[in-house]
């Protein structure tokens, strides 16, 4: 009983569950505005990581890009999310600043939830990997300004796409009488 209560407290602290008056807890709904805020922070961290990695002329593994493009052609959303996460973790590691990865990690659970909801019906899979390739190229070239700009653009476009898709889903749910 204690471990379950502790786990629920942690999920609540992380914003993954919320109070449901008279019913206990429920899974927190995905809200577009909250995802925009998460991506603002993620974008700043990714831009810093890209700049620092470029200053180090780090080489991100080409296998990450190949794997990301491969899974983007398929239907396995969990594999798509894992490939995306692997790319960003490699970027954070390449930055040489461990605090970037630690800071970003606290937000990835929300990013993963949003991506899971959107990627099932999204057509924006290939452009994500084009953007990742642009970031990796700028990093490898040692072009810190271009790497930072590419990472910022990537986060901004992902935020806009995810929030638009979530807003549309929420509108459809309300129209159908589903109060989620």
Which pLDDT score, from 0 to 100, does residue 8 have? Answer: 85
User: How confident is the model over 59-98, as pLDDT tens digits?
Assistant: 999 999 999 999 999 989 999 999 999 999 999 999 999 9
Q: Is the pLDDT of residue 124 over 80?
A: no
**pLDDT band at residue 40, thresholds of 50, 70 and 90?**
very high
| 61 vs 80: CA distance, rounded Å | 17
Which pLDDT score, from 0 to 100, does residue 122 have? Answer: 64
The strand pairing partners of 26, in sequence order, are 18
Ramachandran assignment for 177, one of left (phi > 0), alpha (psi -120 to 50 degrees), beta (any other): left
Q: pTM (2 decimals)?
A: 0.84
DSSP H helices, 23-143, are: 32-55, 62-72, 77-95, 98-119, 125-141
Cα–Cα distances (Å) from 154 to 16, 72, 103, 150, in that order, read: 25, 16, 18, 6
Q: Is the pLDDT of residue 120 over 80?
A: no
Nearest one of 132, 117, 131 to 168, comparing CA atoms: 117
Q: Among residues of the chain, what percentage have pLDDT more than 90?
A: 53
| 69 vs 82: CA distance, rounded Å | 12
**64 or 120, which is more confident:** 64
Distance between terminal CA atoms of the chain?
Answer: 29
């Amino acid at each position: 009983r204690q471990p379950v209560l502790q786990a629920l407290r942690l999920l609540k602290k992380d914003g993954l569950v919320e109070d449901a008056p008279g019913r206990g807890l429920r899974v927190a709904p995905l809200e577009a505005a909250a995802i925009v805020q998460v991506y603002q922070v993620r974008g700043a961290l990714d831009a810093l990581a890209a700049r620092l990695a470029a200053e180090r002329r780090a080489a991100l593994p080409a296998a990450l890009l190949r794997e990301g493009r491969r899974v983007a052609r398929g239907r396995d959303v969990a594999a798509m999310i894992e490939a995306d996460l692997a790319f960003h973790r490699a970027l954070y590691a390449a930055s040489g600043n461990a605090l970037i990865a630690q800071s970003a990690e606290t937000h990835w659970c929300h990013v993963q939830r949003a991506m899971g909801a959107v990627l099932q019906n999204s057509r924006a899979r290939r452009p994500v990997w084009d953007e990742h390739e642009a970031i990796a190229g700028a990093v490898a070239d040692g072009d810190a300004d271009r790497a930072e700009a590419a990472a910022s653009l990537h986060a901004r476009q992902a935020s806009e796409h995810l929030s638009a898709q979530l807003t549309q889903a929420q509108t459809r749910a309300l129209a159908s009488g589903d109060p989620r």
